[in-house]
Amino acid sequence: MNEWKEMLEDAKEWAKEAGKKQLERADGPMTVNSKSSAIDFVTELDVWTETFLTEKIQKHYPGHVMKTEESGNYDGESDYEWVIDPIDGTVNYARGLPFYCISMGVRYQGETVIGLVYAPKLGETFEAIKGGGAYLNGYRIHSSETSNLNKAVLGTGFPYDKGTSEDNNLPHINDVLPQIGGLRRMGSAALDLCQVACGRLDGYWEIKLNDWDIEAGILIIREAGGQISVTEEDKGLYVLVSNSSLYSTLKALINRP
């Protein structure tokens, strides 16, 4: 575990340095391109941040495998694999909204053992090491204790093909919304997961995600006492997380085929 702590401290240092650069550039001119759809953005800071982080990892941990959103996979001989999203919530970042983050998860022999989610504009650092609990800015966090569905506040999101596919999450929202206290759609899967971990949200679900969206956040929720379901589907990952009291009810209510 000492090795994991060292890796987490390095990841935090690099993420904060990259986040400082993101903040410096947030209000200035910026190159923004579209990827798979008109609203699936990549900015020059996505690319810069990913390059910065991968170069740091290659220098300090040569041989480690990496899986990244923008540049793909980096092979290596190590049992460690870093899973990196340089800016989760790129649309928010490009529009000047503060709900975006750097997400870094580390797997050891296929199991996630380190999770870091750093939100520069919010000034919040979520972190976890397997077996060591979850923390926000150094303070221990736990998932909520809400047990009544009609008092629960949940988060969700929509896939980029929402306008062309019937599997666009709207049917689930129609099932869930009348029965809950509130619904939020904030635009960063990694940060949404962290909101469940610290009890701000009682649960969250989304479809057609990638592992770099959730790798760090899933460990943070697990270490905060939440419950998790990740299902690999044809067009990505279906993720459902909540506190322990609501999990079974939500899983039955959001009934994926």
Structure confidence by residue, pLDDT tens digits, 120-159: 999 999 999 999 999 999 999 999 999 999 999 999 999 8
DSSP state of 257: -
Last residue of a domain, one of 140, 173, 198: 140
Same domain, 122 and 157: no
Same domain, 59 and 82: yes
d(CA 59, CA 39): 34
Last residue of a domain, one of 140, 162, 180: 140
Q: What is the CATH number of the domain that holds 75?
A: 3.30.540.10
d(CA 151, CA 174): 17
Question: What would the mean pLDDT of 173-194 be, rounded to a whole number?
Answer: 97
Identify the pLDDT of residue 134: 98
Q: Which residues are annotated as a binding site for Mg(2+)?
A: 69, 85, 87-88, 213
With cut-offs at 50, 70 and 90, classify the pLDDT of residue 188.
Answer: very high
Identify the pLDDT of residue 165: 86
Domain count, the chain: 2
Q: Where does 80-122 have alpha helices with state H?
A: 90-95
Query: pTM score, two decimals?
Result: 0.94
**CA triplet 41, 242, 239: central angle to 5 degrees?**
40
Identify the pLDDT of residue 30: 66
d(CA 116, CA 132): 13
In the three-class reduction of DSSP (H, G, I as helix; E, B as strand; rest coil), residue 43 is classed as strand
Express each pLDDT in 207-243 by its tens digit: 999 999 999 999 999 999 999 999 999 999 999 999 9
Instruction: State the SS3 of 176-195.
Output: HHHHCCEEECCCCHHHHHHH
Last residue of a domain, one of 117, 140, 163: 140
Within 13 Å, how many C-alpha atoms sit on residue 241's CB side? Answer: 33
Same domain, 171 and 114: no
Express each pLDDT in 9-60 by its tens digit: 999 999 999 999 999 988 766 666 665 555 446 788 999 999 999 999 999 9
Same domain, 23 and 132: yes
Same domain, 15 and 114: yes
Does residue 119 contact residue 191 with C-beta atoms inside 8 Å? yes
d(CA 121, CA 101): 8
DSSP state of 234: T
Same domain, 232 and 116: no
Does residue 172 contact residue 189 with C-beta atoms inside 8 Å? no
d(CA 4, CA 115): 10
Can you give the residue range of the structural domain that contains 64?
2-140
Q: Which residues are annotated as a binding site?
A: 69, 85, 87-88, 213
